[in-house]
């Protein structure tokens, strides 16, 4: 008869019912720790995605104003529009360049609405403003030196009076965005380290009750791989369950935010959200496997005296 550690182990379990099942660890404690940890990671990821989308919206609403000479005929206005539209820095949606014509009358009304002042009383009866094209620029051109190049290029077009944009505002936006990304990245990195340590300690505590069963399996000749397998399977399942619960809570929080916060829905990108949820599940699986592996290895290599 060939000796089998597995069959011998099963016989031991039948005769010693007080032994816990190999691989069995307190589920609730481990899964709760993983769920909270993964939810916090997912929340940081969601904030990062929303901040990135908000940045794109802010940049797309910043316009370069191309002020035109007075009394230009319609043919000349159309020609200037076509000249501007051909430049690669002009933002296009559905192959349509984002260039809007604003007459000087509309510009005067906008000025009075924003400032509360009557421009005619301030500067006389004649409207001193110019007709203009409001041009939206692609994200990659939102750097101060590139905007200066765009200004110089557009001012060379015949019929253009001057080109204006909010100087220094772009650099200020870019600096603030960089600071936000740095802070979030550092926070996520530190949070991930703390979470791994916390979950690792939680699984070690859960494994403590299994230490004598592991030693019993070693004494009857079971290999390390045979002992390790059920624990790793259990750790993977716990990681996936924690990841699934974290994703569920994250989606619930997102739905509440969309109902309560105006404009929050416009920040959502479904493809990136799905990618974030998949990453959370993968992180949960990896943390569960890694922490369980390290905990099992600790007791596999521990001497009998240390077990007590």
Q: What are the pLDDT digits (tens) for 192-246?
A: 787 778 777 777 777 776 777 777 777 777 787 887 888 888 888 888 999 999 9
* Bigger pLDDT: 127 vs 253: 253
Reply yes or no on whether the pLDDT at 26 is more than 70.
no
Average pLDDT for 135-143: 83
Provide the whole-model pTM.
0.65
Q: Which residues pair with 99 in a beta bridge?
A: 135
Per-residue pLDDT band at 24 (split at 50, 70, 90): very low
DSSP state of 70: T
Highest mean pLDDT among 163-172, 185-194, 267-276: 267-276
Q: What is the pLDDT of residue 12?
A: 44
Domains of the chain, each with CATH number or no CATH:
5-56+172-307 (no CATH), 63-165 (3.30.70.3040)
| HSE, side-chain direction, 13 A CA sphere, residue 193 | 5
Average pLDDT for 185-191: 80
Residue 90 to residue 148: CA distance in whole angstroms: 14
63, 121, 178 from 70: Cα distances, Å: 21, 21, 41
Q: What is the pLDDT of residue 307?
A: 58
Per-residue pLDDT band at 143 (split at 50, 70, 90): confident
Nearest to 299 by CA among 234, 217, 238: 217
| HSE, side-chain direction, 13 A CA sphere, residue 46 | 26
Reply yes or no on whether the pLDDT at 136 is more than 80.
yes
49, 78, 196, 228, 283 from 137: Cα distances, Å: 22, 19, 43, 58, 38
Q: What is the pLDDT of residue 279?
A: 92
Tokens for 60, please give them.
């797309």
* Bigger pLDDT: 272 vs 180: 272
Residue 225 to residue 227: CA distance in whole angstroms: 5
Residue 268 to residue 85: CA distance in whole angstroms: 30
High-pLDDT (> 70) share of the chain, %: 81
In degrees rounded to 5, what are phi and psi of residue 85?
Answer: -65, -25
Residue 172 to residue 58: CA distance in whole angstroms: 12
Q: What is the CA radius of gyration of the chain?
A: 32
Query: What is the overall mean pLDDT for the chain?
Result: 78
Report pLDDT digits (tens) over 41-92.
Answer: 888 888 888 877 777 777 777 788 899 988 888 899 899 999 999 999 888 8
| HSE, side-chain direction, 13 A CA sphere, residue 240 | 6
Q: What is the pLDDT of residue 146?
A: 85
Q: What is the pLDDT of residue 74?
A: 87
Q: What is the pLDDT of residue 118?
A: 62
Q: What is the pLDDT of residue 17?
A: 39
Q: What is the pLDDT of residue 113?
A: 72
Report pLDDT digits (tens) over 85-125.
Answer: 999 988 888 778 888 888 877 877 776 776 666 656 665 55
């Amino acid at each position: 008869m060939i000796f089998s550690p597995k069959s011998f182990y099963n016989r031991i379990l039948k005769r010693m019912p007080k032994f816990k099942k190999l691989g069995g660890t307190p589920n609730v404690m481990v899964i709760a720790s993983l769920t909270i940890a993964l939810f916090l990671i997912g929340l940081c990821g969601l904030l990062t995605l929303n901040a990135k989308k908000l940045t794109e919206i802010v940049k797309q609403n910043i316009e370069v104003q191309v002020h035109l000479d007075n009394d230009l005929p319609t043919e000349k206005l159309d020609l200037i529009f076509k000249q501007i539209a051909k430049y690669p820095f002009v933002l296009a949606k559905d192959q349509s360049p984002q260039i809007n014509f604003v007459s000087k009358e509309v510009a005067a009304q906008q000025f009075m609405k924003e400032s509360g002042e009557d421009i005619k009383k301030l500067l006389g009866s004649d409207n001193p403003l110019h007709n203009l094209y409001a041009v939206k620029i692609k994200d990659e051109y939102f750097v101060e030196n590139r905007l200066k190049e765009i200004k110089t290029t557009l001012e060379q077009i015949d019929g253009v009076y001057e080109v204006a944009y909010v100087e220094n505002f772009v650099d200020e936006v870019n600096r603030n965005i960089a600071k936000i990304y740095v802070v979030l990245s550092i926070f996520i990195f530190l949070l991930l380290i703390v979470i791994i340590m916390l979950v690792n300690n939680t699984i070690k505590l859960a494994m403590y009750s299994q230490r004598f069963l592991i030693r019993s399996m070693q004494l009857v000749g079971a290999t390390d791989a045979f002992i390790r397998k059920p624990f790793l399977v259990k750790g993977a399942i716990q990681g996936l369950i924690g990841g699934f619960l974290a994703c569920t809570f994250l989606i619930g929080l997102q739905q509440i935010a969309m109902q309560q916060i105006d404009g929050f829905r416009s920040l959502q990108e479904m493809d990136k959200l799905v990618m974030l949820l998949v990453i959370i599940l993968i992180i949960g699986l990896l943390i569960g496997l890694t922490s369980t592996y390290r905990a099992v290895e600790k007791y596999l290599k521990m001497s009998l005296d240390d077990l007590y």
